[in-house]
Structure 1
Amino acid sequence: MLLRHWRQRAEAVGRLMPSRKDMHPEELPVDLPSVLLVDVLTGSPRYRYRLVGTREVEARGFNPTGHAVETHFYGAPLATVLRLYDTVVARRAPLHMEYPIPVRRFAAALEHANLYLPLSRDGEAVDMIMVYSDYSSVIDYR
């Protein structure tokens, strides 16, 4: 549903991808606690967490808002995380990825899926990525 909404917003503004301003929180067809906004920067660090939903903060056990992805990532190895963001920026297109991640408050991992949606002020260059995290069943490793 979120992907469909993103496509409709892009079409409504007549661009390849919508901007952050085009994605109104009250209209998003998902739980906002599961949404992250990641700034795309020039130079190093390349990515910074602008907003991290409360469900994501709870799963991580810390709030990375305002910090570089390179130093405050969670779940997949850093190289994988950066490759996912780099792919979204290069392709200027949504990306869906599924993988298990550890949850610090459990001796377990969760099946985890992320939807990465590029956002752009000018409709050409990706300057922000909206990420929707969907945690489903717990995998018990005890």
Structure 2
Amino acid sequence: MSRWSPRDAQGEPQGLVLFDGVCGFCSRWVRFVINRDPEARFSFLPIQSERGRELAARFGIDPEAPQTNAVIWNGRIYFKSDAALTVLGQLPATRPLALLKSAPRIIRDPAYDLIARNRYRLFGRTETCMVPSANERARLPD
């Protein structure tokens, strides 16, 4: 089993997305999901927050240099491409993309890793977590 294989996350909130809050790409991902999630199935927690650091440590994500985002769905936590495709599979506009999960992770994750390694250079990095709008604030638990 890979370090990034899905695993048990019982007791954690359904639809919680753990993300790198200082990453420009990751903040855009959060806004992308919020804008396409009319049922508000997902909430978002920056890894840099106190609770985010706790969850990151619990699930093996280095909060100082996160290599993945994660999502909790149906009592399991998913990482890397599994996380992204799990989220996309729940959004009406992107549901067909969930079919990509049928491709082996060994093929999907290198593409994810390439973007993750270059995300700050390509999309920028901020010194603070994203500043949410009023609508977005409701989706960021304290």
**Shorter-normalised TM range:** under 0.3
Larger radius of gyration: 1
Query: Greater helix share, 1 or 2?
Result: 2
What's the TM-score, normalizing by structure 1? Answer: 0.27
More strand by share: 1
